[in-house]
Amino acid sequence: MITIYPYEELGHAQHGWLDARHHFSFADYHNPKRMSFGALRVINDDVIKAGAGFDTHGHRDMEIITYVRKGAITHRDSQGNEGRTEAGDVQVMSAGKGVYHSEFNLESEETNIYQIWIEPKERGVKPDWKSHSFPTEQISNKLPLLVSGDGTAPLSIQQDAYIHAGRLAKDTVIDHPIVQQAYLLVSDGELDINGKRIRKGDGVQISDMRSVEIKAISNADILIIDVPNSPTH
C-alpha cells in the first residue's frame, strides 16, 4: 500500500530562524493519526537561517540521522565530537545513555536538512557520532545504502533499519526492494512511484509491498528509510 503525504499538508512551525515541516507529531504539532511509522518516530524538514541553529540540548535512547539537502550543518557534542556535514552528506548520532549536542548553520546561506529519529533496538548504549561524504553522481540502477544497523553501510545505527539515498536523472527507472516497510522522501524533483505522482517535499508511506518501481519525471533526489514495525528492546 502506498500513501502520499503532500508537503502542503505536513505539520508546520515557523520560528523565524527555523521553518520546519513535520511528517509526524513533534513539539507543538500533534496529530494522533501521525505519531510514528514503526520504529520511525520523527522526520522534520528543517530550513535554518544563516548563523542560527539548535542550542545545546540533550537526548537519550534515540538514533538521530541528519541528511543535509542544502548548505551545511556544524555539530558539537558532550562526547567531544565536532564536524561539518555538507549538502548530500549524512551524519548519525546514537544518543544512547545520554548526550548533549548543538547543531548550527554557520554558513552564509540557508541550510535545509531532514532530521530523522529512529527508536533504537537497544537502550543505554555508549553515545556515538559519525558523518560520511557520499558521491554526488546520478545513479542508473539502484540507490546507494548510506545507513544500516547491520554493518553493511558506511554509517551504522542501533536499529535494523536501512537508509538509501541518491540522485536520479530524468526518465531513469529503478525497482527498489522493500525489506520491511519504508518511508520515501523527495528531496528535489518529481517521481512516479507505481503510477502515483510524487513531488518535492512530499512523503510516501509504503507498507505490505516487497518492492516499488520508481521513475524520475525530472532530475530528482530521493531518500528511502526502511524500518521494522516496532522497536525491540
Give which of 26, 76, 74, 84 is closest to 56, Cα–Cα: 76
The pTM assigned to this predicted structure is: 0.95
**Which CATH number describes the domain made up of 10-132?**
2.60.120.10
CB 90 within 8 A of CB 67: yes
Q: Which residues of the chain are in CATH 2.60.120.10 domains? A: 10-132, 145-227
CA angle centred on 53, ends 47 and 54, rounded to 5°: 110
* pLDDT score of 197: 96
pLDDT of residue 139: 87
3-state SS, residue 167: strand
Decide: 4 and 10 in contact? Cβ < 8 Å: no
Q: What is the mean pLDDT of residues 60-85?
A: 96
| Cα torsion angle, 95, 101, 102, 103, sign | negative
Confidence of residue 233 (pLDDT cuts 50, 70, 90): very low
* 145-227 CATH choice from 3.40.50.720, 3.40.50.10860, 3.90.1720.10, 2.60.120.10: 2.60.120.10
Assigned C-alpha cell, 151: 554493518
The arithmetic mean of pLDDT across residues 218-224, rounded, is: 96
